[in-house]
Amino acid sequence: MTRVAFQLQVRPELLDEYLTRHSPVRSDMLAEIAAAGRRNYSLFLGQGGTLIGVYETDDDAAAQAYLAASPVAARWEAEMSRFFVGLDGRPDQAATPLTEVFHLEDQLAAADEPAASVTTTTTEGSAS
């Protein structure tokens, strides 16, 4: 399983309409997202229109390819593209990927490994 996160910038003047378009998302698009293999999908909107998306998938390349070929997703993305600043292409294909730097469950699982197989380094500070 892979966790994927991405960032987009919603045009400030279109924030209210963007929120309306996601309350709720059309059922055919929800079905396509699920059929693509994306799950536990969330969007978070920050001040000024910074949008962070997070989802899980078993094969992100396959999920991207499925959605890229989907007429339902193509229609949705064409409708949504005007909401975003600085995109070249469809929002679902052109979003800026983010690098995961911390995941609690991964670190807890690693901490449960036998001490002989875990290398420890000391750093100041904590994950935030």
Instruction: Compute the chain's Rg from CA coordinates.
Output: 18
Domains of the chain: 2-111 (3.30.70.100)
Residue-level pLDDT at 92: 82
| Full pLDDT tens readout for the chain, 128 residues | 999 999 999 999 999 999 999 999 999 999 999 999 999 999 999 999 999 999 999 999 999 999 999 999 999 999 999 999 988 778 888 889 999 999 999 999 999 876 545 444 433 444 44
DSSP single-letter state for residue 55: E
* pTM of model > 0.85: no
